[in-house]
Amino acid sequence: MSFTASSSEDLEAGTTWFSPEEQDLELFCRSVPKVELHIHLDGCFDPQDLWAYLQLNPHLLQCFPVEKKLPWEKKDAPAARIQDSVAKCSTALDYRRLCTCRRRYRRLRHGQEPRRSMQRVKGSLEDMLLCFEFFTPLVYDNFALLEHLACDFVRRQYEQNVIYSEVRYSPQLLASDPRLAHAAITKGLRRGCQEFPNVIVNQLLCGINFCPQWAPDVVNMAIEFRDDFPCAVVGIDVAAGEDHFHPESPFHKDHFAMCQKAAQHGIPITLHAGEVPESMDNVPKAILKYGAKRIGHGYAVVRDLETMELIKAKQIHFEACPSSSVETGGWIKTDWKDHPANVLRSNAIKVSLSSDDPAVFNTSLTWQWRIALKKMGWNKDDVLQVLQDSIDASFAPESQKEKVRNRLQQEYNSRNERSGRLMEVNYPDFRDRVHYDS
C-alpha cells in the first residue's frame, strides 16, 4: 500500500518551547535513545494518513456506523453520531480534530460546534475513548491498511530514536478474526523493523474491559505467539476501563481467569489500574490478585502510603504517561512538579515515561521528555536512570535487553565524545508528529 499524507502541517516541534538558553535540552530530548513501554497501536494511527486514505477510498465512509451506543454511557444517553461527524469534515485538520482528544474539540465529537474560546473542559477517559470511534471502523478488517499502519508505527518510533517499544492493542477490536489482525500487524511491524534495523519492537495483547468475551482468546493468542520473534507477544494487559476489577462486575470473571491462565504459563502481565482518582483500590488488586508486574498509570496510589510500601516491596514498575494523565482527568493538574510520577520516584518506586496514545492526545514520546525536563524538574541523569529502569522492567528476553542497554550506552558515549556534552547532538532524522493548531 503506498500513500503518504502531506506533512506540511507538521511543524518543527520544540522551537518555541525551550528558551534559546535551553536548546541543549531540546537537542537532548531529540537525540537520547528512548524506551517506550506503554503505547497503544490504535492510538498511534496518524489521522492525516487515515484522512488521505479516506480521500482515495471515499466509499469507505459507509463503514462508519450512523449511530453508536457507547458501552460506558448510561442506557438513556443519546447514541453518538459517527458517520455524520466524519462526513462533515472537509479537511485533514477537521478530521484530526475529531480523532484527537483535545478538550476544546469535545463538542465537535458530540455533534456540536467547537468552542470558540480557549476555555477548557475537564478531560475524561470516556471522552478519550470516544475518539477511537471515528477511525477504528476504517481499519476494521482492512488488513492491508493495518499492515501499513503497523509499519508506520515503527517509522514513528525511529523518527524519535525510540530504540525499544512494547506496543499494545486488542486484535479483537481490529478484526472479526483476531489472528488475521495479529498477522497483518506483525507483518507491518517486521517490515518496519527491517527498514529501521535499530528499532526493536515487541507486542502486548490487550483485553478490553467491557468485552469480557474476548479475554480467553487474548491469553490463548499470547501463549501461541510468545516465542514468535521478531516482534513477538511478550505480555498481556486489560485496557479501556477498570470495572473488571470489581468481583460483582459482569466484566470480572473472564479477565481474572485470563490473568490466572497467563500467570500459569509465565506470560507477564501489565494492567491499566489506578488511572483515575476513584480507582485507587485497583492497584493492590492488580498486584496481589492478578499478578501484574507493571501498572499502567496508577496515579491514584500516591494518596495511599500503604499501597506505595507494597509497590516498593514487590518492585512493581509504573508506566507514567504525563500528557495522558491530564487529558483523561487521571491527574488534576496543579504544578507539574507534583505529578504522581514524581511522588512515586521520591518514594523509590521505578517509573517509565510513555505517550499512551500519541495520535489521540496529539503528543509524542519526545514531548513527554520535554515535560519531564522543563516542568517536572528532572535532569539528564534522571532521564538516563529512568531509561535504564525501563529496560529492566520491559518484558523483552534478556538477550534483547542487553542489546538495548548496550545501544543506550554506546550512543551515550559516542555523542558525549563528539559534543563534549551530554547528548546534545541533533538526531538527524528527528520528526515529531505533534500538530500545533491552537
Nearer to Zn ion, 108 or 360 (CB): 360
- Minimum CB separation of residue 40 from Zn ion in Å reads 6
Nearer to Zn ion, 167 or 189 (CB): 167
Residues 343-362, one symbol each (x = binds Zn ion by CB under 5 A, - = not), give -------------x------
Nearer to Zn ion, 356 or 389 (CB): 356
Nearer to Zn ion, 17 or 210 (CB): 210
Q: Is there a contact between 270 and 297 (Cβ–Cβ < 8 Å)?
A: no
Nearer to Zn ion, 280 or 360 (CB): 360
Nearer to Zn ion, 356 or 424 (CB): 356
Whole-angstrom distance, CA of residue 164 vs CA of residue 400: 9
- Minimum CB separation of residue 38 from Zn ion in Å reads 6
DSSP label at residue 214: G
Half-sphere exposure of 65 (CA within 13 A, CB side): 12
Dihedral sign computed on CA atoms, order 164, 125, 267, 172: negative
Antiparallel, parallel or unpaired: β 317-320 and 294-297: parallel
Give kind and range of the element (H or E) at residue 413.
helix 398-419
Alpha helices in 204-251 (DSSP H): 215-224
Nearer to Zn ion, 26 or 357 (CB): 357
Alpha helices in 10-164 (DSSP H): 23-31, 47-56, 83-87, 92-99, 106-109, 125-131, 136-139, 143-159
- Minimum CB separation of residue 239 from Zn ion in Å reads 6
Whole-angstrom distance, CA of residue 61 vs CA of residue 138: 8
Number of residues that bind Zn ion (CB under 5 A): 1
- Minimum CB separation of residue 221 from Zn ion in Å reads 19
- Minimum CB separation of residue 232 from Zn ion in Å reads 20
Q: Which candidate, 131, 120, 129, 132, places its Cα nearest to that of 332?
A: 120
Axis-axis angle for helices 143-159, 178-195 (nearest 10): 40
- Minimum CB separation of residue 385 from Zn ion in Å reads 23
Nearer to Zn ion, 54 or 320 (CB): 320
- Minimum CB separation of residue 227 from Zn ion in Å reads 25
Angle at 367 between CA 166 and CA 173, to 5 degrees: 40
Nearer to Zn ion, 147 or 356 (CB): 356
3-class secondary structure, 341: helix
Residue with the shortest CB distance to Zn ion: 356
Whole-angstrom distance, CA of residue 88 vs CA of residue 78: 19
- Minimum CB separation of residue 193 from Zn ion in Å reads 23
Q: Which candidate, 140, 164, 245, 152, places its Cα nearest to that of 195?
A: 152
3-class secondary structure, 235: strand
Whole-angstrom distance, CA of residue 59 vs CA of residue 222: 35
- Minimum CB separation of residue 272 from Zn ion in Å reads 6
Q: Which residues are at the interface with Zn ion (CB under 5 A)?
A: 356
